[in-house]
Chain A
Amino acid sequence: EMQLVESGGGLVQPGGSLRLSCAASEFTFRSYWMNWVRQAPGKGLEWLANINQDGSEKYYVDSVKGRFTISRDNAKNSLYLQMNSLRAEDTAVYYCARSPPAFDIWGQGSMVTVSS
């Protein structure tokens, strides 16, 4: 079964950093664009960033540009999200998702809480 599994979430203080990981299995990871999407408690989905197959193209939503960095390691079938200068409003469940033409495989999500 094709699967994505996120890890690395937790409690972090405002201004701190955290790195999320997403492990892919049972599909050819290096052939797909990959994305990060988040959902604040009780709120809707927000697309954050994506990266192309070889990591040479990356795009971000304005709200995280300059603070978050998406990357991947195709040898390890893994996607990453480095999050710096975290704010309370970054508190959310973070999902990785495969694309295109749509987000057809999602992980189970990793909770990030930014609080002092």
Chain B
Amino acid sequence: QSALTQPASVSGSPGQSITISCTGTSSDVGSSNYVSWYQQHPGKAPKLMLYQVSHRPSGVSNRFSGSKSGNTASLTVSGLQAEDEADYYCSSYTTTNTYFFGTGTKVTVL
């Protein structure tokens, strides 16, 4: 068992768009529509940003969008804002009824 692979860091200027990738295998991301994304600010609990690849919970900005192709899922944040600076984690349900989280990506707003 191992975590899903994310880039360690991504940065962008205010107003720009960034994309975070999340690469797994055919036993998790590649075979599951239960791929979700979480935002975590320092010292806080994670917050659900997207579920089932591309669905936004109520209250989450439409600047956050998601997609999946094969074994890789992606989170795009458009119109980057200072408040978006945080750690982001993907997660996927697996074929063995367990979950994996991604390694995490630190987003910096320049």
**A residues in contact (CB < 8 Å) with B:** 35, 37, 44-47, 50, 57, 59-63, 95, 100-104, 106-109
User: Is A106 touching B46 in the complex (CB atoms < 8 A)?
Assistant: yes
Question: B97 in the interface, Cβ–Cβ < 8 Å?
Answer: yes
Q: Is the CB of B104 within 8 A of A102?
A: no
**When the two chains form their complex, are residues A100 and B93 in contact, meaning their CB atoms are under 8 A apart?**
yes
B64 at the interface (CB under 8 A from A): no
Q: Is the CB of A44 within 8 A of B104?
A: yes
Closest 4 CB pairs of A and B: A102-B51, A102-B36, A44-B104, A47-B99
CB-CB under 8 A from A37, the residues of chain B are 101
B residues bordering A, Cβ < 8 Å? 1, 3, 34, 36, 38, 40, 45-48, 51-52, 57, 89, 91, 93, 96-104
Pick the residue among A45, A60, A102, A103 that contacts B52 (CB under 8 A).
A102
Q: Are A62 and B57 in contact (CB under 8 A)?
A: no
Q: Are A102 and B34 in contact (CB under 8 A)?
A: yes
Whether the Cβ atoms of B91 and A103 lie closer than 8 Å is yes
B100 to chain A: closest residue by CB: A47
From A44, A100, A102, give the contact of B3 (CB < 8 A).
A44
* Residue pair B38, A103 in contact (C-beta under 8 Å): yes
* Contact assessment for A104 and B46 in the assembled complex, using a CB-CB cutoff below 8 Å: no
Q: List 16 A-B contacts (CB under 8 A).
A: A44-B3, A44-B102, A44-B104, A45-B40, A45-B46, A61-B98, A95-B45, A95-B46, A101-B52, A102-B51, A103-B38, A103-B46, A103-B48, A104-B48, A104-B51, A109-B45
A102-B51, A106-B46 known; A47-B34 Cβ under 8 A = no
Q: How far is the CB of B38 from chain A (nearest CB, A)?
A: 7
Q: Is the CB of A102 within 8 A of B98?
A: no
A45–B41 CA distance with the chains assembled, in angstroms: 13
Minimal beta-carbon separation of B66 from chain A (angstroms): 11
Residues from chain A with Cβ under 8 Å of B45 in the complex: 95, 106-109
The residue of chain A having its C-beta at the shortest distance from the C-beta of B1 within the complex is: A62
The answer to whether B51 and A44 have CB atoms under 8 Å apart is: no
Contact of A45 among B34, B38, B51, B93 (CB under 8 A): B38
